[in-house]
Structure 1
Amino acid sequence: MYRCPLCQQPLLANDAGLQCQNRHQFDRAREGYFHLLPVQQKKSLTPGDSAEMIQARRAFLEAGFYQPLSDAVNQLFTEALAARTVDDRSAPVLLDIGCGEGYYSNRLAQALPQLTLYGIDISKAAVRAASKKYPKLHCAVASSYQLPFADSSFEMLLRIYAPSEPTELARVAAPGAWLLTVTPAPEHLLQLKQQIYSQVRLHPQAVQQQQGFHHHKRQQLSWLFQPKTPVELEQLLQMIPLGYKVNAELNAQLCRDLPAIKLDFYLDLYQRDSSA
């Protein structure tokens, strides 16, 4: 499955971890993950979310506040599996791009135990947390722009918010593979934006084209998040990019008022061209 991020040769397992024919060695971490992010692919010393952000996200997600989104992801992949041909008896393999601390991958594994799940994230803290709590997930620290996997490795791809390189998604997707993306719909976090910006711009409605895939269906999912405590609101702010725009004064006001906040998502399902 893995290929070397330095020379793109296949990585083979040895006692310590993985090694390619050019003797590039990647040791297995104590928690079970691999670090496949070379220095030249980093844009900072510690890219991605910090350990504090991961802790806040895990607490927020495990409280069930985003469970409707996780349930919708599971349902769409359940339907995609049901659409597989009778002759296709291979065990499906899924890649979670930007897997974070593993919440969505783990719930997918519970809903669809026949899946083999791989996950990558640029954050070492996130991958360590995912591997430590969910040892059945195959996790690696890696770039979504240079995926460390062989061509046509996956029958399913999941991308929740994570940036990616379209040609890389198409490269690692097998012919007929499914790609599910989750992106913000127009009114996502609208009430927060109204507090931060004098003029609010809604997220675009257009379906984003994915090179090598055709769009199959779109589902919009919306609900109100009503924080009951300042801690719940703080956890949300720590796990969204918009949180960086909240200054101390606004933070205090939000924690005092505890406003209901709209969560609004697009789930877009694509299929890899069969002729690929």
Structure 2
Amino acid sequence: MLYICPLCQSPLTEDLQGYACEKRHRFDRAKEGYVNLLPVQHKGSKDPGDSPEMLQARRQFLDEGHYQPLRDQVAKLLDEHLPTASTAAIVDLGCGEGYYTSAWVNDNREVYGVDVSKFAIKSAAKRYPKIQFSVASGYRLPFASASLSAIIRIYAPSKVEELMRTLCPGGILITVTPAARHLYQFKALIYQDVQLHDEKEEALEGFECLVEQRLHYPLTLTASSATQLLQMTPFAWRASENVWQYLADSKSFSCETDFKITVWRKAE
């Protein structure tokens, strides 16, 4: 088991009820199978992360397959660049309800999903029992140093120092961020002066960039799918009632996806 105690950083040992460290800090396993490793003093708010309504919208949208090309491409890059090991430990950081996480699973991998949203982790653990899910923060990862073969970070915030600490030498990090024209048409509904996404170069100290590529394709959405997608995005907070009504009344809505996918390798 790769988990460490979020309070004292000692290794956690698994038992029938959950996990405990040598200093007797205990973390019980929920009935759905996940463990909460986000102490109250590290939460920042009562219920951090996505709300149940946002998660329901995202699950419905993703289950329709609109972002499957992204999931397939990240899975392909993971297969190509994952360090050779008898058993690889992979973490999906900011895993949400587990849609992407489920694509990394095979018999030679230990797959973990981490998210600050208890609602998301509870939902994910119910649906994907083969994956080990935990409520935790990307700024304080609950994993032992140099224990991970790969980390997948799709839009999730994190601390570079924690990525460096937990990845093994030669371990890989795959990041997905919005490229210039991602969901441009949604922005055009909301803002008078539409700006492209800033594509400034990301520099991660201690990492070598192996691959950088864009994935760009069109979407034609039903009214229901369009409103679900908007609800998944930060634009939702700025969308007026007129925008929501326009989407609800549309027979179809066309927009662009535009992702930047980067593969990084931690220095040996």
Aligned partners of 1:27 and 1:214: how far apart in 2? Answer: 38
Could you tell me whether the CA contact under 8 Å between 2:190 and 2:240 is conserved in 1? no
Residue identity matched to 1:251: W
Alignment of 1:1-276 (within 5 A): 1-81=2-82, 84=83, 88-109=84-105, 112-228=106-222, 230-257=223-250, 258-274=252-268
Aligned partners of 2:85 and 2:74: how far apart in 1? Answer: 23
Quickly say closer, same or farther: Cα 1:189–1:89, change in 2 above 3 A: closer
Residue identity matched to 1:160: I
Aligned partners of 1:13 and 1:114: how far apart in 2? Answer: 21
- CA deviation profile, 1:174-207 (whole Å, cap 9, x unmatched): 0000100000000111111112112122122233
Aligned partners of 2:104 and 2:38: how far apart in 1? Answer: 25
Residue identity matched to 2:232: M
Could you tell me whether the CA contact under 8 Å between 2:155 and 2:175 is conserved in 1? yes
1:90 deviation in Å? Answer: 2.2
Could you tell me whether the CA contact under 8 Å between 2:186 and 2:230 is conserved in 1? no
Residue identity matched to 1:80: H
Aligned partners of 2:49 and 2:113: how far apart in 1? Answer: 15
- CA deviation profile, 1:84-110 (whole Å, cap 9, x unmatched): 4xxx4421110100010000011222x
1:115 deviation in Å? Answer: 2.0
Query: Which one is further off, 192-201 or 34-43?
Result: 192-201
- CA deviation profile, 1:212-267 (whole Å, cap 9, x unmatched): 21111111001111112x21112111211112211111111123333311111000
Aligned partners of 2:59 and 2:100: how far apart in 1? Answer: 11
Aligned partners of 2:160 and 2:194: how far apart in 1? Answer: 29
Query: Which one is further off, 253-262 or 48-57?
Result: 253-262
What number of residue pairs does the alignment pair up? 266
SS at structure 1 position matched to 2:112: strand
Aligned partners of 1:147 and 1:73: how far apart in 2? Answer: 22
Query: Which one is further off, 195-204 or 147-156?
Result: 195-204
Unaligned runs of 5+ in 2: none
SS at structure 1 position matched to 2:151: strand
SS at structure 2 position matched to 1:61: helix
1:15 deviation in Å? Answer: 2.3
Aligned partners of 2:43 and 2:87: how far apart in 1? Answer: 33
Query: Which one is further off, 134-143 or 256-265?
Result: 256-265
- Given the two structures, how large is their TM-score scaled by the length of structure 2? 0.96
Unaligned runs of 5+ in 1: none
Aligned partners of 1:231 and 1:206: how far apart in 2? Answer: 33
Aligned partners of 1:89 and 1:41: how far apart in 2? Answer: 33
- Given the two structures, how large is their TM-score scaled by the length of structure 1? 0.93
